[in-house]
A and B are shown apart, each in its own frame.
Chain A
Amino acid sequence: MAVKVSLKVNGKSVSAEVEERTLLVTVIRENLRLTGTHVGCDTAQCGACTVSMNGKAVKSCSMLAMQAEGADVMTIEGVAKPDGTLHPMQAAFKEHHGLQCGFCTPGMVMNAIDYAKHHPDPTEEQIREALEGNLCRCTGYHNIVKAIGAGARAMAAGK
């Protein structure tokens, strides 16, 4: 049966008529056509679907759209400034070559931004621990870890 879900996505109020069994990621990708949020697994390990919900990084493939009713969601498309300038975390990924195929990248960035808000100067070990829920098959994590450290420090410096 179709139900209506209403939420805020990237600052804009949106609603969609969906089947009750619809996942949040499906609403984001298919109803809103925000295809930067990806699906890489079906057991909540890969983290490619990570979005920010009410300020916290969550896996949008692991929740029903109905669980996001009234929530404030930000996807990768909402991260850069309106003029297109990259967020400091995005810029750090670019500078440190923290991405290759780019498929896991939106989830990595969304998790990293949330993490860096609480950890302005993380150690290598802390960053690796924070990436427990994000899989990357291309980079070997080396440059992702470097990028997140640099991005966190740039965020803390208010860049």
Chain B
Amino acid sequence: MHAFKYHRPSSVNDAAALVKGEAKLLAGGQTLVQTMKLRLASPSDIIDLGTIKDLAGIKSDGKTLSIGAMTRHADVAHSAEVKKAIPALAALAAMIGDRQVRAMGTIGGSVANNDPAADYPAALLALNATITTNKGKHEADKFFKGMFTTALAADEIITGVSFQVPRRAAYTKFKNPASRFAIVGVFVADFGGSVRVAVTGAGAGVFRQADMEKALAAKFAPESVANIKVKQDGLNSDMHASAEYRAHLVTVMAKRAVEAALK
């Protein structure tokens, strides 16, 4: 790891004021610390959000579920509130990494990093989430800009994410056998009348699958998507999964997500 200067701000505003040059914000660190260890990232400054009060927590009013940015994956996975409002979201959180990683990793860190194979972006997009920052709000639909890129300004810090509570939803994930990141993850959310289908892992960033949304809005059943062929164009291709295989898996995972949502 290269040397850097470490900061421990006590508020979001203080943290934002420290952002300059090659500085990086540190949430749970489960991605950033690895990247720094491998000397693939060399920030000049590390701004640790870990001791800022009130950035973690879960609230629900029946229509929206709000999760603070520094809420750990394990806390979302085990939260009675999340399980009651959006059980699929708790299940998704329980599928991230492993239990040690989930004890440290945060929703804010995951969303800000926008790894194309991360799980949370699929949930945000499918659940029509709103991302709250120190500077305002972003709709999920306009937030994710492709691989590791978001609508966040350099000194903009996520403070929380609010999800719309669906009628029913499910997330299915086909894991990379080695890294256990998503080769394809599909989040299906039925809002009664409208359906949102978000796909992670398959492309350069999380995306919605319009054909499936339309078919499921007409009839929320596995057979509605089982024969929808997903185009390979623009999908990722690597040694673990070709674009062709990923395209196929999107359909299979979507079908299985619908089956799970109906259970």
Q: Which residues of A approach B to under 8 Å, CB–CB?
A: 1, 3, 19-21, 23, 42-45, 47, 50, 53, 56-59, 61-64, 66-67, 69, 111, 114-115, 130, 132-134
For B5, give its contact among A20, A44, A56, A130 (CB under 8 Å): A20
Asked if B6 and A59 sit within 8 Å, CB to CB, the answer is no
Instruction: Judge whether B46 and A20 touch: CB under 8 Å.
Output: yes
Residue B81, interface by CB 8 Å: no
Rounded to whole Å, the gap between the CB of B183 and the closest CB of chain A is 16
A67 and B48 contacting across the interface, CB-CB below 8 Å: yes
Instruction: Pick the 7 closest A-B CB pairs, nearest first.
Output: A133-B98, A132-B98, A20-B6, A56-B103, A21-B1, A133-B100, A59-B100
- Give the A-B contact count at a CB cut-off of 8 A: 83
Query: Which one of B33, B74, B99 has the highest number of Cβ atoms from chain A below 10 Å of its Cβ?
Result: B99
Give B70 Cβ to nearest chain A Cβ, in Å. 12
Given contacts A63-B29, A67-B29, A115-B99, contact A43 B3 (CB under 8 A): no
Q: How far is the CA of A134 from the CA of B180 in the complex (A)?
A: 13
A156 CB to closest chain B CB (Å) equals: 19
Confirm or deny: B210 has a beta carbon within 8 angstroms of a beta carbon on chain A: no
Q: A63-B29, A132-B98 are in contact. Are A3 and B6 (CB under 8 A)?
A: yes
- Do B104 and A57 touch across chains, with their CB atoms under 8 A apart? no
Taking beta carbons and an 8 Å cutoff, which residues of B are in contact with A? 1-6, 8, 26, 29-30, 33-34, 36-38, 46, 48, 50-51, 74, 97-101, 103-104, 179-180
Q: Would you call B103 and A64 a contact (CB within 8 A)? A: no
Shortest Cβ distance from residue A44 to the other chain B in the assembled complex, whole angstroms = 5
Q: How far is the CB of B154 from chain A (nearest CB, A)?
A: 22
Tell me which residues across on chain A come within 8 A of B26, comparing CB atoms: 64, 67
Taking a contact as CB atoms closer than 8 A, the residue among B33, B46, B48, B103 that contacts A57 in the complex is: B103
Is the Cβ of B34 less than 8 Å from the Cβ of A64? no
Of chain B, the residue at the smallest CB distance from A47 is B100
- A133 contacts B29, C-beta separation under 8 Å: no
Question: When chains A and B are docked, how far (Å) is the Cα of A48 from the Cα of B100?
Answer: 11
Contact pick for B4, options A21, A53, A111, CB 8 Å = A21
Bound CA span A9–B6, Å: 22
A42 near B37 (CB under 8 angstroms)?
A: yes
The residue in chain B whose Cβ has the minimal distance to the Cβ of A49 is B100
Which residue of A is nearest B104, CB measured?
A58
Query: Contacts A44-B34, A47-B100, A67-B48: A62 and B29 contacting too (C-beta < 8 A)?
Result: yes
CB pair A21 B2 closer than 8 Å: yes
| Distance A69 CA – B4 CA, assembled complex (angstroms) | 18
Distance in angstroms between the alpha carbons of A45 and B34 in the assembled complex: 10
17 contacts between A and B (CB under 8 A): A1-B3, A1-B5, A19-B3, A20-B6, A42-B37, A44-B30, A44-B34, A47-B98, A47-B100, A57-B99, A59-B100, A64-B29, A64-B33, A66-B6, A111-B99, A130-B99, A132-B99
Q: In the complex, what's the smallest C-beta–C-beta distance from A26 to chain B, in angstroms?
A: 10
Interchain CB contact under 8 A, B100 and A50: yes
Neighbouring A residues of B97 by C-beta, 8 Å: 44, 132-133
Task: Give the docked Cα–Cα distance between A130 and B98 (Å).
Answer: 7
